[in-house]
Every structure is written in structure tokens, then in C-alpha cells.
Structure 1
Amino acid sequence: MPFAIRRGLPSLAGSAAVVTAFLMAGPSFVSAADRYPAGNFEVEVSEIASGLEHPWSVEVLPDGAYIVTERSAKMRIVRNGRTGPPVEGLPRIFVGGQGGLLDIALSPDFAVSRKLYFTASIPGPGGQGTALFSASLGKDERRLENLKQLFAMNRFTGTGQHFGSRIAIAKDGNLFFGIGERGEMDRAQDPNDHAGSILHITPDGRPAPGNPFADNGKGLPEIWSKGHRNPQGIVIDPADGTLYTVEHGARGGDEINAPKAGHNYGWPVISFGKHYSGAEIGVGQAAEGYDQPLYYWDPSIAPGAIDIYRGAMFPEWEGDFLVAALKYQLLARIERQDGGAVDGEERLFQGEYGRVRDVKVAPDGSILLLTDEEDGKLLRITRAP
């Protein structure tokens, strides 16, 4: 059985900050640190940038600067506490509802190639849908070059929700990314529809080897797994290569899954949540042929992203899941035993910074957060002295 949270937990680190950040207009200000208890030690949260318009994803550049996407179809560089102008050269993007410029991921050889990948909702016949692009960041960081659309989902519709979509790059260079069922839940069970799926493609956009339908014609060759409602977090554990996702339920039923090739994760046939109307979903919480989540929340926390802590700054958290939460405005740390089994949850910063959209473990072991607000912020979590 999956490990479950069935009710809201009290925050373990929601006390008032003992150091209050002096807020200053403009995106170039780096604030003093707020301090919070976290288990048996304390952490500090520093503001790296503000004034971001619904930021969605952040990556650390080789020189320690940050590249950030904003849902409003802007990509910016944050360096030395200053936020640069929008990078030029983006494709035409649909901005509306939950759609816009979404995730960004740096190619493993970015330091040499300057290649990156990003997802976005784009307009097309029938409405809008999720697409994935590659490009290279110009040396002056002012524009994207060599832009290429690698993938677009096969059915666009007029709905404005459940686009997914984060990217995880495997050691072989192939890409995993998720697309929600676009608010039309039965699409998640159709193997000939990209909606409600985890996709797996090569860096040039072809179906990746090992995909379950690549050779048998029983489904689309890019599909890795089905039955996903709206996976907005995806990560590959660098320790063992296991793929994990976090995805939105309805009224409850947010899930962490470990998608496997050809497996079905149940939406909308099974779920640990209910419809927003209160009606039951599908046939219940389990049925033959559908995988159970590793962990779920009821009520929903509205997860925005997931990462796995592998770093030196917080050795106590080694191997734990870190999940950004929009609804409860927090960072959830999901404790895992050495064998990977879930062992509990700690909630950090609840209500302190607004809707938390992204979480990333930085190369130095610190943790980065983005807040999904009109005045969105890039925050950095470090160990307090």
C-alpha cells in the first residue's frame, strides 16, 4: 500500500522568521536571510531575486548564475543579484490559464554546447497544446539560437489547464517529460493520445529506444507510461537512475509515482481523491492493471515540482523527496529510508512565501525555490551557521 497523508499536517517550520527581510522594489535586490527551524537544526532562506512574473522553472548555469522561465513567455538570467532583460528568440507561445513558458533543463554538456531544452504551451489547429524545444543560449545571453521544435502533442484543444510539464534528462541523454490530460480525463487512458502521459524521446526528438509501443503499434511510440492526471514534477534520482513524478490529483489524490515503461497509473479509473464536486472517481482506490502511488496526499497540496536531495549541505536529508506545493504554500520534505521506503513528511515555510512552484537542489547542496506570484521570487535555502 502507498504511504498516505490523509489530513493537513501542522507545519514543523512555520514559526515567524527571526530575521525579517527588508523588501526593496525591483528584481535586483538580495535580501537578508530569514531563519527557520528544520528538525534539529536551522535553515536560512535568502531572496536572490524578486519581480519575476509567475516564474515556473530555474536552473543553475555553470558560472553560478541562474536561468529562470516565467509563465508569461519570458526567460531571464539572474546574475550577482540582478535580473536581466527577457532573452529573445523564443517561439510563439500560448499564454493563458495554466499555459505559457514552462520548464527548462540544461543539456549535460551545456558548458560546451550551451544547449538547453524547454517546454511551453503553443497555439495550433484546434487550440493549444504542450511542445518541447531545444535551443542554444547565445554567448552574450541575449537570445536563443538554433531553435528547434522537438515534439508537440498530437491533439490540441481549447482548454487552458493540465499542460504538465517538466523535463528530466537521463544519463544516456534521452528526455523524459510529462503532459497532463488537458482537463479531459478520459484522454489519460488512450494510448493513441499524448495527453495524460509520460513521454520519452531522444535529444533530436525521435521516440527513445525501449518505449513500450515503439514497435508494436498499440500506442504512440513516444509514450512511456499512461494514466497520469497532470504531472508537473519529474526527476531522475542521480544515485540509481530511478524516474519519479509528482502529479496533481483532483480534490485530494496528489501522487508520487515511479513510472515504468508500459505501466498505467490509473487516472481516472482509480484515485485516492474525489472530484471537486465531491463525487467518487472511477471504481475506487485500486483495480487490477493499475499501479499504486508510492505516496499520496489527501487533501491536495497541489504539488508543483519534485527533486531528490543529493548534496553535502543537508546530509540528514540525503535521498529525501523535496516537493514544492502551491495550495498550502510550502516545501514538503518526504523522508525516505535507505531502501527508499517513505518514512514520513516534514512541512517547511508553510504560508511564508506564497505558492511554491519549483524546487531544485543546486550543485553546492543548497535548495532553490520559485514562488508562483505576480511578484515571484527566487529563494535560496542554506544551512544556518
Structure 2
Amino acid sequence: MTSRSDAARRTAPRTVLIAGASLAGPTLAYWLHRYGFAVTVVEKAHAPRGGGYPIDVRGTAIEVVRRMGVLPRLRAAHVDTRRFTFLGADGAEVATLHPSAVAGSVEGQDLEVGRGDLTAALYETVRDDVDLVFDDSIDHLDQHEHGVDVTFRGGRQRTFDLVVGADGMHSGTRKVVLGPEEQFHRYLGYTFAVFTVPNTLGLSRELVMWNAPGRAAALYATGGADDDLHAFLNFHQPDQPLHLLREGLRDPDAQRDLVARTYAGAGWEVPGIVEAMHQADDLFFDTAGQIRMPSWSSGRVAFVGDAAHAPSFLTGQGSSLALVGAYMLARSLATYGDHAQAFAAYERDTREFVTMNQALVDKGGARLFPTTAEALERRNAMLRELVAMPATTPQPAHSALVLPEPAAAGRTRDGLAG
């Protein structure tokens, strides 16, 4: 005989905890709510994160935001960068190009928006429909036959049917479930620093990048001549174990000292950029790498976005993979009543797309940051050729996945329609 509690458990909406409220998290929450799931999102920050370096939404991901109804808002926020100017080590101009020629994007279709603009647009699609918990995170979890018992950092305890880690490349959820990041991290040989600086050069909707072997410095104007600039310093570091890199670079003062030593003697405006870094209160510092997991799930816990498959900024596809991956995971959960089948379908249908975009690094994705004089000269020659032949072909990896239609109906337990 089936008990009343068993019957209630079978017919109640499945409960899902999503860790992370940046890009993949709100996107997943939107689609799961639409499919009839009861969704909670936990975010360690105090509020939705604004600001940040401009990010791209390309190819298949454009269709995701269109189906979510936020495409018009994002088009209004489109940065519309007019040109990229590349300088040599002596500060002399190498080439000036349209951004689409460099990125392989489709002018008039793909988007570049402030990270805060995209985060805000996604947040507003779910803020009234899901349980949003800020200033907290997952501290511990126990999986069992009927769900996942979660203990939060703040001390609360709750049980969910499923948990999804959407909390970034350095996912705390992934660490709790599977252990240290090092086992999944592929270091790409670069360290970078991003921060804002005053616009003393009067730049407007353009990027200017200086390069020397193994070092790059860029100033990015996403607004007019009166708006602050995004400064970007990216430099090559020999491959070494990730834990050594992290241990040596946790201290902000150590980070700034490393950058200052690395760029000593650099030309152009680099000394002023480094000096401004010392005054910046929004410095973001990290290593460039990818997350490559043999499986994107473990029991009742799955991962999405950078937590599952960070491609690195060198591909320009992190945001797009997060949006597409969240859509595909939600669709699979709505299609299959059994979470194991759903997670398997999500991975089966999405992994090739992810692999193609991660491989952009191996196919020249890092070519803007040469590490030797010879490679720098080859890169400069390539840029000059692009000036002579401005017509470009969109990058096939960006649209390699044809987005399937949304699932026909929401699901609850055991495949029952909600």
C-alpha cells in the first residue's frame, strides 16, 4: 500500500537548489521555474553583482536570451565597440580592426554587454518567482535515496531533490562534492589582472592593446570619453602546479607586486596603468584556465557553466556556454523524470558543443597574447592581413549547437506532468 506521504512526494514539484546567481544560475532557475520546479538560488555575494568587464553573447546563446525575453534589453545595452587598435612594444600602431574581424563574431547579431547588465537582466526574470538567498553558500551536503541534505554556511539545514553547482570556475559546491579543483583544472599559462582606471586618453567605444612577448596591456572604453576605462593586464607565466600559483597569489599586495615586476620597463602607457592598479579598489586577479570534468554530475548533484566547463577568457565563450548549458540542463530535467537520465542527456547533448569551444584555445584562441618575439611578429602579420581583407567568417564553434525547442511541459517526480 502506498502511504499518503509517498503519494505526496511523488506528485509535489521537484525541489532544486542552485548555487550561484551570476549567469548560469539565474538562467537555469528561469527555465526550471517555467517547467514547474520549486527553485532556490543561493549566492555568496550580498546582492546581484554589477559592473565587471564586458562580456560576449554569441551564436547559440543569442537564441537562449531571445527565448527568455531579454534580448531587446541586451541589444539596448550593447557596447557597440567601434575598433580594436593594436600597438607594438614601442607603442607604434600595428593595425586597427573592427572587433568582429578579431573575434569571429557576427556584426548586428552577436552582443557585447557589461557583465552587470547581463546579470541584472537575468536576475529580473526570476526575482519574483524563485527563492533567492544572498550572503550564504553550501557548507556541506549528504546525498541519499530521496534527496540531498544541505547545510548552509549560515547554519540552516534543508533537503532538496537535486542540487546544481553554478558557482563559477572555482566552484565551492564542486569542491564539497568532488574535492579539490586541481584535478579538473587545465592551466593555460597566463595570469591576468582587471580593474578600472580614469580615462586620461579620451578613448571612446574602443580597445587599445599593447603587446610585447609574453606581456599585454589593454585599455577598453565601453562608453564615451568621460567614462572610466577597463584596464587589462595579461602576462605569461611558466606552467606550474595550480596550488603553488594560488598560494603565492592570494595576497592582493603580492598580486600587485608581481604585476609591477612583470611590467617594469614596459613602454606606451603601461607605467601609468600599473600605477593606477595600485590605487584601484576593484582589482580582479586570476590565472587563465579551463575546467575539464569527465562527468558533469555526481549522484543528485550536477554542474553547469564555468563550474562544469569553464573555457577561459581566451575563447570569449564563457558567458555563452553558461547560458546554453543552463538551458540544456533545464530542458533535460523537464524531459526526464529520473535525474540520472536527465543528467546523462544534458551531457550527451551539450558536451560536443562545449568541447568545440574549449578547443578554440588550441586553435589560436590565445594568438592575441604571443609569448615569443617570433610569435608576436606572426600575430602582427595576421592582423595586417585582416585589415587588407576585412570580410570574416563567423567562428563555427559559436553556433555549433542548434538549440532544441523548450520541453513540452514541466515535470515533477517520476516523469509526471506538473
Q: Could you tell me the TM-score, scaled by structure 1's length? A: 0.26
Question: Highest Rg: 1 or 2?
Answer: 2
**Structure number with higher helix proportion:** 2
**Structure number with higher strand proportion:** 1
| Higher RCO (Cα < 8 Å, 6 or more apart) | 2
Q: Could you tell me the TM-score, scaled by structure 2's length? A: 0.24
